[in-house]
């Protein structure tokens, strides 16, 4: 049974949404003046199910989302999308390029880019290195922690990246 949600849109959209998965955005529960939605995020997660869930959750906060399944795919997208403000990447990914490798390469091309890493089992040395160039969100995390961390990373002054 699908939980009833309040959706913006027409009656037919509401009916379609109750049958399966939401096709339109849920109205986010935000306080006036909330900075949600002021950013474009490149989401890099190799697991397709997790990527889809995170993408929906972030779209529900009214962020603009682009997705990539690997570091190489993310670098290709980053080159063609100058308005990306946040790279949100899993740290452990197959294919030879970790999230940390991706972030380091992305920051060479885009020093103004904000970076948020996530992982449930990253090597402590890798986590420490990542914390020097970006923020960290340890798995598992709640929807509230995700929203709060994204907001903080996007809207607080950036720390300088090490050379």
**Residues 130, 99: contact at Cβ < 8 Å?**
yes
pLDDT of residue 30: 40
Residue 23 shares a structural domain with residue 89: no
pLDDT digits (tens, 9 = 90+) for 92-127: 888 889 999 999 999 999 999 999 999 887 666 766
Mention every residue, 6+ apart, whose C-beta is less than 8 A from residue 141.
118, 149
Domain assignment present for 12: yes
pLDDT of residue 121: 73
Domain assignment present for 94: yes
Beta bridge partners of 68: 44
Q: Nearest CA to 97 among 46, 53, 42?
A: 46
Q: Nearest CA to 84 among 117, 114, 105?
A: 114
pLDDT of residue 14: 32
pLDDT digits (tens, 9 = 90+) for 61-99: 999 999 999 999 999 999 999 999 999 999 888 888 999
Query: What is the span of the domain harbouring residue 121?
Result: 39-155
Cis peptide before 160 (omega within 30 of 0): no
The vertex-138 CA angle with 134 and 141, nearest 5°, equals: 125
Q: What is the chain's alpha carbon radius of gyration, rounded to the nearest angstrom?
A: 17
pLDDT of residue 25: 35
The alpha carbon of 117 is separated from its chain's Cα centroid by a whole number of angstroms, namely 9
Domain assignment present for 160: no
pLDDT of residue 53: 96
Residue 53 shares a structural domain with residue 92: yes
Tell me the percentage of the chain whose pLDDT exceeds 70.
68
Q: Which of 30-34, 36-40, 108-112, 123-127 has the lowest mean pLDDT?
A: 30-34
Cα distances from 151 to residues 35, 70, 83, in angstroms, run 7, 24, 17
pLDDT of residue 160: 60
pLDDT of residue 29: 41
Average pLDDT over residues 20-30: 35
Number of domains in the chain: 2
Residue 103: other Cβ atoms inside 10 A: 25
Residue 100 shares a structural domain with residue 45: yes
pLDDT digits (tens, 9 = 90+) for 134-152: 888 988 999 999 999 999 9
């Amino acid at each position: 049974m699908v939980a009833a949600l309040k959706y913006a849109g027409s009656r037919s959209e509401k009916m379609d949404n109750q049958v399966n998965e939401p096709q339109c955005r849920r109205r986010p529960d935000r306080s006036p003046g909330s900075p949600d939605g002021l950013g474009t995020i490149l989401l890099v997660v190799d697991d397709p199910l997790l990527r889809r869930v995170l993408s929906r959750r972030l779209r529900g906060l009214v962020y603009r989302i682009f997705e990539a399944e690997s570091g190489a795919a993310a670098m290709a997208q980053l080159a063609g999308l100058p308005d990306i403000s946040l790279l949100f990447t899993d740290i452990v990914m197959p294919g030879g390029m970790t999230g940390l490798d991706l972030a380091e390469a992305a920051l060479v091309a885009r020093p103004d880019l904000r970076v948020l890493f996530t992982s449930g089992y990253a090597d402590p040395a890798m986590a420490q290195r990542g914390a020097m160039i970006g923020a960290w969100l340890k798995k598992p995390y709640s929807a509230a922690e995700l929203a709060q961390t994204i907001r903080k990373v996007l809207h607080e002054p950036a720390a300088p990246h090490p050379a």
